[in-house]
Structures are given as structure tokens and as C-alpha cells.
A and B are shown apart, each in its own frame.
Chain A
Amino acid sequence: MAAPPRKGENWELRQQLNSEYRDKRADAIKRVIANHTIGKDCSGLFPDVVKNMQTDDLEQKKLVYLYLMNYAKTQPELVILAVNTFVKDAADPNPLIRALAIRTMSVLRADKILNYLASPLSRCLKDENPYVRKTAALCVAKVFDLKPDMCIEYGFVETLRDLIGDGNPMVVANAVTALADIHEASLNMAPPESSPEGSSPNSARLNNQLFIIDHATLAKLLVALNECSEWGRIAILSTLARYRTTDVEEAEHICERVMPQFQHANAAVVLGAVKVIMIHIKNVQREDLLKSLTRKMAPPLVTLISQAPEVQWVALRNINLLLQKRPEILANEMRVFFCKYNDPPYVKVEKLDIMVRLATERNVDILLGELKEYASEVDVDFVRKSVRAIGQAAIKIESAAERCVSVLMDLIETRVSYVVQEAVIVIKDVFRKYPHSYEGIIPTLCANLDELDEPEARVSLIWIIGEYAEKIENADELLGTFLDTFKEESYAVQLQTLTAIVKLFLKKPDQSQGIVQRVLQAATKDCDNADVRDRAYIYWRLLSSDPAAAKSVVLAVRPPINLPQRTVPPAILEELISEISSLASVYHKPAATFIGKGRLGAEEMKRTVEPEEDTARERALQTVVAGQQAENLLDFDADEPESGASDGLAGLGSLSTGSSVISSQAIASAAKSTNPLDELMDLFSTASMATPAAPLAPGAGLEGLANSVSPPTTLSPSPATPTAAPAATAGGAQDDLLGLF
């Protein structure tokens, strides 16, 4: 091994660190830290730096400690050099130094040091100075992180529980924080992992909840809440949010005590208070209290909107959740969410969403005025979202739909490309909600055909043309232009062109025989996409074998679309609301989906879930996860080709045996008259045989079909309607589903 070089910066520093002059040594330490700050490795100087640990200069001591924190891991065998000074410092007459010593010692992550920490820590937990006690309290959580058994062995966790009753609110706050942290850590500890060495009774106790809040604790917390510093209040509020009670009086008491926190200047305290109230309000029964709670919640939420933009954003995301649960709290406050022209984009987008959520018949006019204004701004993304919001308002509020459409038409007149495209997309949705209501605008839309260069906009216009083909004189001409460029179009446009032309043919068979032949040819011969090709075959066979059936399948009436009140499933919403102000509530995703590896085992779920919400929540979780994987649906099938296909068949089977949705009678009658399902079955088998290259797509399609038939809302024929109607509806659903591809 070569001796370290006798020159270079580190050599120089080493000389200085060992200098006999204090100033030089102090200076050298600073330079070491400076080097560390810019990312240079200074681990080689470990012994020389540690020598300087014993000093009266507090700043120097802090720097040496800082050095130790960063490099102890790299030099575990040398750390022992520092132990003496640490232990001595932990008994220093100056509380600042005592606290500093244990604070640093507990994060060194070296086993040797930890063993020496036990007795100073137990002393410091009972120190006469609150500054030391509050620091020691957090040290327990640090030790638990490294060596949980040690905390139990020395009774540190017990001591923490005692500290909740400490006279000093800061100590209480940190004790609560530490206990909550330990609690969370122990929940995350998987049982098999904690038992390798000897599996002492301790590790069994570890898996129990280490921080149970009982009545006595609750009382202490509520007292400390009013005296703590702002950060302490946040910790206490988070703990109160974990407390569950079904006792009416207790819930009311908690709400009453927490409510004053709405007036705190710190936004996180306000959100913490909102969280606690939202959890315990469920058990509040006193009418006057309920009223005053909801009434008093609105103003502080509104005030959050005048904070720094990042804070605003966190608040807006949480408000968005709250409105999904209790839309009434901010019913009269829409104006607060108007965008400022210099708001950062992430704030604007959230505000838009909330504005649409708060839109009602009463305020829709002023909302439309705002949205129109936004649509003339320069941020393209924001403009598009504003246009989209106009469409959402139209779908949400029927009485305002006409005004919304006229605003959209005004926007189309601006002829700004992206505005027009977005408006067309939005108008398609308006048609899906209110069919046959605004046909008068179709010519204007068609006039803008050349402007549309984005697939989604083209798809939307093609859909509109197909849907109203009988009313558009030159529909074949218009669709022909898309057919001319068929090969270059994206698959979505190809699919929609195909469907639209088939619709056209079914509506006007005489004039469009040629065009339908061309599109079927193009889609089956020249297209390399399995979906397009398969759908073309489906249509082709349907048209050639039974045009009447084709008509009832393709042209059937579809149920109107709706703007969902919630974007988060109810069970997840419940969970997120109880975590207001956390990352989960900001992302609108349960914590389990983004911490760790983003995957959740069923077992893990069970452990954290309360029994009564268990099934609902799990189902909802699956929906979220499924939603995230939605775009991988085809991949998913490819993994298990057999089951994918048979699932599809099973789906069909359940459809024909008649679930609660479609009566078997209806199916039978449908089968009698046209039998579209049989046709489909046939097609399915032939298609998969004829095109071995893509045997799975039909399976996926049918599976999707089966899935979407099951929710009763998509299809709801009244039982008394003539038999033909349900059949038609069923056909409609299929067309819709095929349209999805």
C-alpha cells in the first residue's frame, strides 16, 4: 500500500488539521466542510478531523459533528475514536452541547456508537432542560429506525409516552412526533424480517401498535395543541387524525377544541385542522355544531388561495378533494378561484378544475365569461383546458348548454388553430350528451375541416359527421377526404373513419356503396393495425350477412355521457380525506400506490385497512391500479393469451345468460330477430383463425364488452319497454365499445 502523497489539497489540509494553532485548525475544518459541500470526498481526513472534536468553539464542534454525520458510515471502525467526546459532551453543563451530542450520535448509523448512546439518551430524556428533552425525544425515533429492539429494551418508548404529559409543549410535540414516527416505522416492518436473530419477545411486541391513543392521551394532546409552536400543532393534529372514536360526545369535543386552529397563520396547521374535523365530523350529531363547523371551514380555505403559489397548489389539490366529498362548503366562493394572468400553470389548471366543480346554474354566466377570457391567453395548454372546461360546464348544466355552445362557436371563429381543434373535441362531447340538439352548428364545424391536424380533433369531427351523416349533404365527400389519406392517418383516425363511413352507408346506402367498399378494402388490405383490420372484418361480415342486424348494432342509440361528480372512487376518497395535507391527498392517490415500489400486496393492504371499509376500499384500489395499467390492457392479454380469450367468451356468456341488466327475454328476442351476438361469436372465431398474427385483439375487445355491460348505469332499459328496445340498447353498447378502439 502506497503512503498517501505528500502533496495535494488533502495533504495540506491534514497538516493544518494537526497544526498547533487553533485558528489554523478551525480554518482547515471549514475548508474540509466546504470541500464536502461541493461534493469532494473528504473521508480520508477522518482521524485528523475527529482529533479536533474536543474544542470550546461551538461552531467548530458543530462542523466536526456535521463531518461525522456524513462520513461515519464510510469509516465505521474509526468512529469509536469519537465516542469518548460524545459521551462527555452529552453530560456537558451547556444544554446546547448536550443536545447536539445526542442529536448527532443517534444518526451516525454505527452499531458501536449506538451501544454507547443508551445511557446518555436515557439521562437526556429526563434532562432538566426542555431543549435537551425535546431533542432526546426525537433521538428515540432515530434509534428505533436503526435498532428497534434497543428502544424496547431500555424502555425508551415508555419514556416517550410519559413525555406526552411533559409540562413543556415543545417536548410534548416532539414526543408525539417521535411516537407517530415509530408507529409508522413499526407498521412498515414486515413480520418475517424482524425475527432473524433469536426472535425475542421484543420483536413480537414490535408488531403491536406502539402508539395507541387512549382517552388520557387525547386529553393531554388537546391541551398541548393550544400551546405548541406551529410545527408541534401539525404533529398533534396528525395524531388526532389517527384517533378513531364512535363516541358522539368525544367527537364533538375534539371538533370544538380543534376548530380554533382554523385561525392559525400557518397553512399546514389549517389543513391539519380541516383533516381532523373532516374525520370526526362524521360522529357529530349536534345540529348547531355541524352547521358552525361547515360554515367556519370555508373562510380559512379561501384564505389559503392568497398564499405562495406552491402552498396554494397544495391547498387547491386538497380543496378539490374536499369538494368531491362536500361540494356545499364552498358553494358561493367560485370567484375566489378565478385565475390571475401570472399564476403559475400548475395553479391555473387546479383552479379551472375547481371552478367547473363549483359551477351551477346561478354562476355559470360569469364562469363562461372567465373561461372565454382565458381562451385568449397565450399559454396553449391552459387555453385548451379552458376550452375543455366550457364543454364540461355544458355537460354539467343542461340549462347552460346552449350558452356554452355559443361561446364555443365564438371561439371557433377566432380560427386560432389549437382553439378550434379543442373546441371541436369538446363539441363532440356536447353532442354525446345532448344528441340532436345543436345540429345547426355542424356546417360551421365542417368548414373548419382543414384546420384540424391533430388526431383527436379529426376523430371528433369524423365522429360527428358519421353520427349526423343523414343530415349532412356532402358527408360522403367529407369522409372521402379522410379516406384519401387513410394510410397516413393515425390508427384512431382510421378506426373512426371506418366506423363513420359504415354509419354513412347504413343511413344512405344508395350513394355510399362505393365509399364503404373502398374503406373496407383499405382497412383490411393496407392497414397493419390489428384493431383496424379486425373491426373492418367485423363490419364487413355484418354488412354482408345481415344489413338489418348491422343497422341495429351500429346505429343504435347510446346512453348520454355524464360529468362524474367524483374523480376518485368513494372508498379512496374517504381514505384521502383522512390524509388531507399529505402527499397522498395532493396526488389524489392512496399512499400505497406511490411509496415503496408502487406495488401493493394484498396482505399489506389488509393490515392497514379497517375491517368495515375493507372490501370497498380494496375494490376501489384495484380500480385505481387498473386505471394506471389501462393502457397496457393488450400487453396484459399477451401474457396470458388463453385466459384473455376465454375471459372474453365468459363475458359473452354472462351477457347472454342475462345478468340483472339485460333480461334473458330481451336477449332471446334479439337473437330471434337479428341475432347479432351469434354473428359476433362467429366473427370472433373466424377472425382469430384467419389472422393468426393478431389473435388476441378480439379477445380483449369482448372482454371489455363484458366488463362494461356489468355496471347497471350504462344500460338501463326499463323492464316494460318493448323487446326490441333493449336489444337495440345492447347493440348500442357494443358499438360504443368497439368505438373505444
Chain B
Amino acid sequence: MASLVAILDVKGKSLIQRSYRDDVPTSYVERFIPLVLDMEEENVTVQPCFSDEGINYMHIRHNNLYLLAMSKRNSNAAEIILFLHRLVSVLTEYFKEVEEESIRDNFVIIYELLDEMMDFGFPQTTESKILQEYITQESHKLEVQVRPPMAVTNAVSWRSEGIRYRKNEVFLDVVESVNMLVNASGNVIRSEILGAVKMKCYLSGMPELRLGLNDKVMFESTGRSARGKSIEMEDVKFHQCVRLSRFENDRTISFIPPDGEFELMSYRLSTPVKPLVWVEASVESYRGSRVEYMVKVRGQFKRRSTANNVEIYVPVPGDADSPKFRAATGSVVYAPEKSCFIWKIKQLGGGKDYLMRAHFGLPSVAGEDLDKRAPISVKFEIPYFTTSGIQVRYLKIVDRSGYTALPWVRYITTAGDDYVLRTISDSKSSSIIAPL
């Protein structure tokens, strides 16, 4: 429950706000930033939720904005914080970039959205596709009056009736991102696979879909022996269209999909994963003169696969200058704004390895040794391949009208946001990261 929702600029000035209940005076919005500044001054960590004089402030940050909700009661913090995130994503779908300017330019529609997305402080409809059906940017030109789409209150609140396509198609993308943390001595400390099944649905009517995966739990419960490999997903999350009780009973994934693009499900596996793209870096640092890097990359996957768009971010001291690079393949650029250099390789074959060297000058007066010691991070994509071995066994599409639709399935593995290898911690003396 939120009494007031406001979007503030970075200085804490309210760009737009909507009060849902009278118990929190609107003037309290102005107290938010002073409170945050006070906490920062006193070295107290500013947390997303805090309370002051009986008012609870819950906020998130997006770009240079604060999205703030206030309440006087013991509100559901998880719900409100999520609602604020959802507000950002709805606004993003409406205006692409959510920032000061787009908020100012679109205040009318934002008021409308705030009115529709929350009532009396309780979240209502937050599906941007449905909202777009009756809250549009050109509404004042409407000849025909809009009505609330059935879907707003339908049991199927995510899909409207009467959708028609000439060609009925479904695209399934199974995307697995691998997160990995490798310590300075080359051991994998933590690894996980975050998978997602994304769909693009171009189907007419109200089709019933059933998705079959090589889910180990299902194979076991039905007593069927799995042909080939089956996988054990540790935690599965579904889009709200999936019937959860059905999944709980017999692991069937059945649903009426929203129209267009959406994420059907996500899953997580924390089985140990071998690093697919292995990076080693040795650093030789001569304080006050120069620092040298030698980076080695190896594709540790099947020979017939290829990793595309490999990018290796190697952190360097903030005051490094005059970069020189020599790479056996790909290109290297220096990104001083991120205090790193990036080695880009368009295609890295399985089992191949390459070397690159970098040389930087350092100022003779050594700066404070307070460089943020970021780890090496890596980005890549490996198409036609999943680390977990997940497979779509079938996708059944049934609609009353009886059309046949074609499902297309693609697999891809990418590096997650957190595919990192820690650099050696001591950069004072010349030292080399222990190779494998």
C-alpha cells in the first residue's frame, strides 16, 4: 500500500507525483532528499526503505531519477518496490527512455497511467500491453470512445480476444546466461546458469499451449525413461499466464500466451559449470613508469561451436595512459571512462586460444592506491548451444478454430552480467596470476 507515488529528479525535485491517500501530505516529498543526504553525511548506508517521523519512504533508482512511494502504514515493501520497478518498465515501453525530459513531456499520459496502475495505493493493472490498448498517446483525437479492454478484468488478464493472424507462428528462444566467479588462483568459486524461455507469439484467437521440456522431475514422476539427457531445474519461475497448480501437480507447462513478445519462464541451475570462455591475465606493474598485461583467452567448448562477439574487459589503473596493444586476433580498444581496455573478438572457435599484450604508461607520481579493483569480465554468445542441455521436446498449440501453427526454436548461451574473473589482488610488486 502506498499513499503517494512520485518521480523525483536527482536533486529531489518532484517531476510528477500522484497522491492516492490523504494520510501522507504531499509536502513530505520534499523531505526525501534531505533525509538521504543526512544519511550519506553520517555515513549511514541509504537503504531502499527507511522510516522517518512515522512516514515510510520506499524508493528505487532509475537512470538519474528516484521513484518514491510513501506510506504511513506497515505496507508490503516487496509489493511497492516491485510496483515501482514495474512503473519504470511500463513507462519505458511508452517512451523508450525514462528520464527527466520524457517525464516532463508526457505528464498527461503519466497521470493517466498512474491513475490506472494504482488505485487507493494498491497496484492494479501493470501489463503495458493491456494498458496500451486503452491509454494511448493520441487519445484526444479519438472519435470512438475507448472502453476498458476485456482483458483488464478477464481471468486471462494478459490477452485480448479477437486477435487474428494470417500466418500463425510461435518463436521460442531458449537463452541461458552463465554467471561465473573465478578467483585469483583460477578456481571457480561460484557458477550458475540463469535460463529463460522467451516467446514471440503470433497466434490467432485464444490458443491453449503446452510446452514439453526434458525436465528430469517430470520424467521421473511419469516413470518414463528419458531418451537422452534430462535436466534438473532448481527453481522455475513462470509468467503469470502459466497455470501454476497444474505445474505443481504433473509438471505440465500449460498456458494461454499473451500476444507478441514475452518471457514465458525462467529457471536456475547451480550445477558447477566449466568456464566456457577462459581468460587468464598476467599483470606486470612497475609503479611510476608502466604496467604490462598479457591476456590469454581460450574457447573451452565443442570444436564445432563458435562464440560470437566475445568481449573481454580488463581493468587498468585509472591514471594509465598511452596504451599500446598487440593482439593475435580481434581488436583492442581503450575505454578510459570505464578504466579498462576491451578486447573484442568477433568469432572464437571451440578449442582455440589466442594471446594479446597491452602496455600502458603510468604517471611518475603514483596516485592514491584506491583504484576500484574490478574483476575481468567477459561477454560472449554461443548460438545453437545450451550449457544445461535443456531441450524443447514439443510445443502443442490448440485453438478452437483448429489452425495449425509452426513453432520455431532457437538456443543460445551467453555470458551473464556476472561472468567475472578476479585479478590478482596485489599490484604493488610485479606478480603473475597463477595459470591453470
Chain A residues in the interface with B (C-beta under 8 A): 26, 30, 33-34, 37, 39, 56-60, 62-63, 66, 69-70, 94-97, 99, 103, 107, 109, 129-131, 133-135, 138, 141-142, 145, 168-171, 174, 177, 181, 184, 226-227, 229-231, 234-235, 238, 257, 259-261, 263-268, 271-272, 299-300, 302-303, 306, 308-311, 313-315, 318, 335-336, 338, 340-342, 345-346, 349, 366, 369-370, 373, 376-378, 381, 579, 581-587, 591, 594-598
Contacts and interface: CB of A to CB of B under 8 A. Distances in A.
B108 interface: yes
B69 to A, nearest CB: 11
Contacts of A181: 1, 120, 122
Given A130-B153, A313-B48, A338-B181, A66 B43 contact: no
A59 B235 CA distance: 44
B146 interface: yes
Given A142-B120, A181-B1, A584-B74, A59 B139 contact: yes
B409 interface: no
B119 A135 contact: yes
20 contacts: A58-B142, A94-B145, A171-B153, A174-B122, A226-B243, A227-B155, A230-B126, A231-B79, A260-B248, A263-B242, A267-B82, A303-B268, A338-B190, A340-B420, A582-B77, A583-B49, A583-B56, A583-B75, A586-B49, A596-B54
A366 B77 contact: no
B140 A306 contact: no
A176 to B, nearest CB: 10
A230 B72 contact: no
A30 B108 contact: yes
A468 B347 CA distance: 64
A565 to B, nearest CB: 24
A525 B60 CA distance: 55
A311 B111 contact: no
A184 B154 CA distance: 29
A591 B73 CA distance: 8
Interface string B6-36: 0000000011100101100000000000000
B48 A346 contact: yes
A267 B78 contact: yes
Contacts of A598: 54
Max chain A Cβ within 10 angstroms of own Cβ: one of B47, B61, B77: B77
B119 A138 contact: yes
Contacts of B278: none
B235 A103 contact: no
B207 interface: no
Interface string B130-174: 000010000110100111100011110100000000000000000
A597 B248 CA distance: 45
A310 B85 contact: yes
* Those 6 A-B pairs whose CB atoms lie nearest each other, nearest first: A299-B235, A591-B74, A130-B153, A260-B244, A268-B78, A260-B248
Contact of A346 (B47, B189, B270): B47
B373 A33 contact: no
Interface string B404-425: 0000000000000010101001
Name which of A94, A381, A587 has the most chain B CB atoms within 10 A of its CB.
Answer: A587
Contacts of A300: 235, 237
B236 A595 contact: no
A38 to B, nearest CB: 9
Contact of A265 (B79, B124, B266): B266
Contact of A299 (B73, B134, B154, B234): B234
A314 B240 contact: no
A101 to B, nearest CB: 13
Contact of A26 (B51, B140, B155, B248): B140
A306 B148 contact: no
A96 B85 contact: no
Contacts of A103: 115, 119
A595 B46 CA distance: 20
Contact of B111 (A62, A94, A342): A62
Contacts of A184: 73
A99 B82 contact: no
B54 A266 contact: no
Binding site secondary structure of chain A: helix
B286 interface: no
Nearest to A301: B235
Contacts of A130: 153-154
B25 to A, nearest CB: 11
A597 B74 CA distance: 13
Given A59-B112, A594-B51, A595-B72, 20 more contacts: A37-B15, A39-B14, A62-B111, A131-B148, A138-B122, A141-B120, A229-B125, A230-B240, A260-B248, A272-B76, A303-B266, A309-B48, A310-B61, A318-B78, A336-B192, A366-B189, A582-B75, A583-B49, A585-B77, A594-B54
A365 to B, nearest CB: 11
B48 A310 contact: yes
B384 interface: no
A95 B134 CA distance: 12
A338 B420 CA distance: 13
| Residue among A56, A97, A130, A229 with max Cβ neighbours from chain B (10 Å) | A229
Contacts of A60: 140
B157 A229 contact: yes
A314 B77 contact: yes
Given A39-B14, A299-B235, A581 B240 contact: no
Nearest to A271: B78
B425 to A, nearest CB: 5
A132 to B, nearest CB: 8
Most chain A beta-carbon contacts within 10 A, residue among B54, B147, B242: B147
B318 to A, nearest CB: 11
A594 B55 CA distance: 8
Interface string B300-320: 000000000000000000000
B134 A311 contact: no
Contact of B122 (A133, A231, A308): A231
B81 A311 contact: yes
A261 B243 CA distance: 10
B238 A263 contact: yes
B236 to A, nearest CB: 6
B424 to A, nearest CB: 11
B76 A234 contact: yes
B248 A259 contact: yes
A150 B118 CA distance: 24
B22 A311 contact: no
A229 B240 contact: yes
Contacts of A66: 111, 115
Contact of B45 (A70, A131, A345): A345
Contact of B108 (A63, A272, A579): A63
B45 A311 contact: no
A579 B183 contact: no
B148 A308 contact: no
B123 interface: yes
